Structure 1
Amino acid sequence: MNRINLRIYGLLINGNNEIFISDEQEYGRRFTKFPGGGLEQGEGLIDGLKREFLEECNMEIEILSHFYTTDFYVKSAFNDTQVISVYYLVKNLKPIDLVFKTKVFDFDGEGECLQAFRWVKVNDLKPDDVTFPIDKHVVKLLTDIEWV
């Protein structure tokens, strides 16, 4: 393995202290993660995260601050690369126009690539609520903060 897989994710927390998460089905797997994805060639972190939110959520965001960058080794669950993820606290610039689910993997329709969105109380969030190791670590960091 000699490739780095750079990922960017947004942590969007609403006025009810709920965090925005994405349930997805792709590559024959189901997983729960924070919105975001892979950085494209020639793209900066901020532009990449804004693009990902537009593509995945049809949402314009503002970056508030850096939250965390991976500081331990993680091999990708999908290929033979090392994953480095960068997380930012973000806010939406316009009202959110999405259908939110309350159950995990409550997809509408059928297909290979499916996505559903949920709000989860930050104080109720557990590492097992997300799939990937770096996200689990971020959940621990989030839950160490006292949210008003």
Structure 2
Amino acid sequence: MPDRFNIRVYGILIDCERLLVNEEKIGTRLVTKFPGGGLELGEGIADGLKREWKEELGLDIEIGDHFYTTDFFQQSAFDNSQVISIYYLIHLAQLPESFTNNEPNEHTFWLPLSKVNADTFHLPIDKVVGQMLCTKHATRSL
């Protein structure tokens, strides 16, 4: 049984039918995930999301609509915590041609939205969001 919450915040950036994703080495495996990360104590959700994007990609973001918050129990694969992930659509005032990661072992790239589904991602909550994006894209409701 978990002994604490682990609150995560992620940004969904879509441009020209492309989704921005991170590939990160966690332990010995490569994991495809959304850009973002853990909320720090004393930090609000919006501030945490902005900080994560600034730290990882050096980008100042504008936070758009809420997209999804975990609505099921998810045990962390890495420690004894319960993961709650919050996802927002985000916007950039100016979109760079390429992205430079400030974090070691990470690579950020565009993925065609038409190829995104649950299997695109490795983490359980990201899989749910990937499937939601796939469904919304198919119904043109993004």
Q: Distance in 2 between matches of 1:114 and 1:97?
A: 21
Number of the residue aligned with 1:42: 42
Q: Distance in 1 between matches of 2:97 and 2:110?
A: 14
Quote how far apart the aligned CAs of 1:94 are.
2.5
Quote how far apart the aligned CAs of 1:97 are.
5.5
Number of the residue aligned with 1:130: 121
Q: Distance in 1 between matches of 2:99 and 2:8?
A: 25
Amino acid at match of 2:34: F
Contact 2:117–2:133 under 8 Å retained in 1:
no
Contact 1:32–1:129 under 8 Å retained in 2:
yes
Q: Please give the per-residue CA displacement for 1:5-44, whole angstroms capped at 9, x wherever unaligned.
A: 0000000001x21100000113333211000000001000
Contact 1:60–1:94 under 8 Å retained in 2:
no
Q: Distance in 1 between matches of 2:97 and 2:60?
A: 11
Q: Give the number of aligned pairs.
A: 137
Consecutive unaligned residues in structure 2, runs of 5 or more: none
Consecutive unaligned residues in structure 1, runs of 5 or more: 101-112
Equivalent position SS for 1:136 = helix
Amino acid at match of 1:62: E
Number of the residue aligned with 2:4: 3
Q: Which residue of the other structure, out of 113, 120, 125, is the alignment partner of 2:111? A: 120
Amino acid at match of 2:134: T
Structure 2 CA distance for partners of 1:121 and 1:97, relative to 1, 3 Å: closer
Amino acid at match of 1:125: V
Structure 2 CA distance for partners of 1:78 and 1:141, relative to 1, 3 Å: same
User: Structure 1 vs Structure 2: percent identity of aligned residues?
Assistant: 42
Q: Distance in 2 between matches of 1:2 and 1:144?
A: 34
Number of the residue aligned with 1:76: 76
Contact 1:59–1:94 under 8 Å retained in 2:
no
2:51 is equivalent to residue 51 of structure 1: yes
Quote how far apart the aligned CAs of 1:93 are.
2.2
Amino acid at match of 2:50: K
Q: Please give the per-residue CA displacement for 1:87-143, whole angstroms capped at 9, x wherever unaligned.
A: 00001123325348xxxxxxxxxxxx4111111122211211111010000011111
Which range is displaced more, 72-81 or 120-129? 120-129
Structure 1 segments (4+ residues) deviating >6 Å? none
Structure 2 CA distance for partners of 1:88 and 1:99, relative to 1, 3 Å: closer
Amino acid at match of 1:3: R
